[in-house]
Structure 1
């Protein structure tokens, strides 16, 4: 493959075959006009997934890890070691074994603290031997019951009720007379009718019936006689 370092088409093709999932979808969406060489593809890939460096696990995350339920010691050690390999800069072997020992439960911690090995592989083998001893019945691994707090709470509640009942029956209860408020009734006010003004009614006026004039005979106007004849009057009217 070292002889093909200048063959950019072959390198891009091999890089494409190594991608899966979201990375493959990102590669298929690239602009082919901007990716001409394998170096261009490497720079684009680094810009896309550079955020993984900022989200890389740190030592605080290693210290906060713990063994899960129904998880063997070997499985927990492998999961813890994979997270530790992502830390930059990587921890040294001595520091790594110290952090891993502090994440173990009381059963492993009490038996390994006295002779804790400085090699991580040896510490894993020691934990696996302790786990095998529990499986064979030679060692007893005590577990704190999860309902211990609930039992204590129920007993405390019962004792509290018992003390209250003793105090109640031992001493006579003091009775307080009930307070009954007294209200003064106000005298009822007599209702007075509102003032109504009185008006004097005038007597109806009597109208006199006027006499009917239908039986009267109309008068004919009388004029003085003309002192000439109509023939003599006509020329004067025309002028």
Structure 2
């Protein structure tokens, strides 16, 4: 089950939990968390996996925090890193392509990605 583009992480997690509750025999809480985490996008998976959780509600709370971090730019996603790498390798295709490569390279060298997101 995938997250719809129209729903936030909390809505998706609740919808997923409702579907998981229908499984027979019922999954234990830790099994549900494990299966849910395995199905997450790399950006979420990385941050959710690094915490030890005891309840599904905690997973939802941390997932919301990750989602807000991605939206605010505090967390850099794998897709953003790949796009930046692509721009660096191929240029932008315009006359300012070299300047853009230099700007992106400077930003990338000034930013460290830590376990809790970018460190400036």
Q: Into which bin does the TM-score normalised by the smaller protein fall? A: 0.5 to 0.7
Aligned residues: 82
Instruction: Tell me the residue number matched to 2:95.
Output: none
TM-score if structure 1 supplies the norm length?
A: 0.32
Q: If you compute each CA radius of gyration, which structure gives the higher value, 1 or 2?
A: 1
- Runs (4+) off by over 4 Å: none
Q: Where is the helix percentage greater, Structure 1 or Structure 2?
A: 2
CA contact (8 A) 1:73 1:124 kept: yes
Instruction: Tell me the residue number matched to 1:140.
Output: 76
Q: Where is the strand percentage greater, Structure 1 or Structure 2?
A: 2
| More RCO (CA 8 Å, sep 6+) | 2
CA contact (8 A) 1:107 1:141 kept: yes
CA RMSD of aligned residues (A): 1.9
Deviations 1:137-172 (A, max 9, x none): 211224267xx9xxxxxxxxxxxxxxxxxxxxxxxx
**Secondary structure in 1 aligned to 2:32?**
helix
Please show how residues 11-26 of structure 1 align to structure 2 within 5 Å. none
Gaps of 5+ in 1: 1-64, 149-239
Gaps of 5+ in 2: 87-120
Please show how residues 84-163 of structure 1 align to structure 2 within 5 Å. 84-143=20-79
TM-score if structure 2 supplies the norm length?
A: 0.60
Deviations 1:164-222 (A, max 9, x none): xxxxxxxxxxxxxxxxxxxxxxxxxxxxxxxxxxxxxxxxxxxxxxxxxxxxxxxxxxx
